[in-house]
């Protein structure tokens, strides 16, 4: 049992909690407790696309090159919080400028492109062996190095009564909460992120995502084959070739391939692993069975 699941995470539970529930579903379906890996977690209050790797597909995560994210969120002006979202205690309040919509329109273009962003204290990054949010909950703050992110697109969708609706497409590692605070700073007004919906994560999109109930009804049907997620070509080996590949030996490449990596299946169409063409040979890089 190997593949990916495009899960719709509801607001409320953590990514770890819903991942554990999906693990139990597959264990009950196949009788085996399988590893489950996240392809970028979501905060508890956030909803939307949460891709999961099931079984040995977790070993494919480092090979996934498309890590772009797409979100829709609300920017709430007039209040800054400790966490950067609606769950945190208030740190600062101020009146919302009467021309806030116009100010945001002018500020948005300056947040498109390669930017430097300082991760928030309430994040899962490590510092001195601890998660930053563990340090923040003690009321402490530590220095965090700014990181380069890329905002591919940022669009103001609407504005009403101090709340803006915004769409953003960005690189992996972008903190939308921090982006919301920075937008507020740019127009001279404290701000925090309200609601957050992730509508795409790499090749996983919102309209194809499944709820927990839908996955539980038929876990096997929810599995997405690796070839649908990672654009590697597939090579089929005969019995001897598949056996050698499984044993970690170089095998003749059935046909010339310019691809850096290929999926390898045997004559029964079972996914054997990932190989790397080396001249006229195929070198095993990841072997699954």
Where on the phi/psi map is residue 139: left (φ > 0), alpha (ψ -120 to 50), or beta? left
Residues in the chain: 289
> Around 23, how many Cα atoms within 13 Å sit in the side-chain half-sphere?
15
Would you list the DSSP string of 187-233?
A: TT--EEEEEEEEEEETTEEGGG-B-HHHHHH-HHHH-B-HHHHS---
Q: Would you call 244 a catalytic residue per the annotation? A: no
What is the crossing angle of helices 100-107 and 176-186, to 10°?
Answer: 110
Q: Kindly name the residue from 43, 85, 199, 266 that is annotated as catalytic.
A: 43
Rounded distance between C-alpha atoms, residue 120 and residue 88, angstroms: 12
Rounded distance between C-alpha atoms, residue 131 and residue 145, angstroms: 15
Question: Residue 107 — φ and ψ, nearest 5°?
Answer: -80, -35
Active site residues: 43
């Amino acid at each position: 049992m190997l593949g990916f699941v495009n899960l719709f995470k509801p607001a409320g539970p953590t990514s770890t909690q819903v991942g554990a529930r999906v693990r139990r579903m597959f264990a009950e379906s196949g009788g085996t407790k399988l590893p489950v890996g996240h392809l970028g977690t979501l905060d508890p209050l956030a909803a939307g696309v949460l891709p999961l790797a099931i079984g040995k597909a977790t070993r494919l995560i480092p090979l996934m090159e498309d890590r772009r994210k797409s979100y829709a969120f609300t920017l709430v002006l007039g209040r800054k919080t400790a966490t950067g979202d609606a769950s945190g205690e208030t740190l600062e309040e101020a009146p919302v400028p009467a021309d806030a919509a116009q100010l945001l329109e002018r500020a948005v273009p300056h947040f498109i492109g390669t930017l430097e962003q300082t991760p928030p204290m309430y994040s899962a990054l490590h510092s001195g062996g601890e998660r930053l949010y563990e340090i923040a909950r003690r009321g402490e703050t530590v220095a965090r190095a700014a990181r380069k992110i890329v905002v591919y697109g940022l669009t103001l969708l609407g504005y009403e009564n101090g709340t803006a609706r915004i769409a953003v497409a960005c690189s992996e590692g972008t903190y939308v909460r921090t982006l919301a605070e920075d937008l507020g700073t740019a127009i001279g007004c404290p701000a925090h992120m309200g609601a957050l919906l992730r509508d795409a994560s790499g090749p996983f999109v919102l309209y194809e995502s499944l709820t927990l109930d839908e996955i539980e009804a038929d876990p096997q049907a929810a599995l997405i084959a690796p070839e649908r997620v990672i654009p590697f070509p597939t090579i089929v080996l005969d019995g001897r070739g598949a056996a050698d590949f499984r044993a970690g030996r170089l095998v003749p490449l059935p046909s010339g391939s310019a691809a850096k990596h290929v999926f390898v299946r045997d004559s029964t169409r079972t996914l054997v692993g990932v190989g790397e063409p080396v001249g006229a040979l195929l070198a095993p890089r990841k072997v699954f069975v």
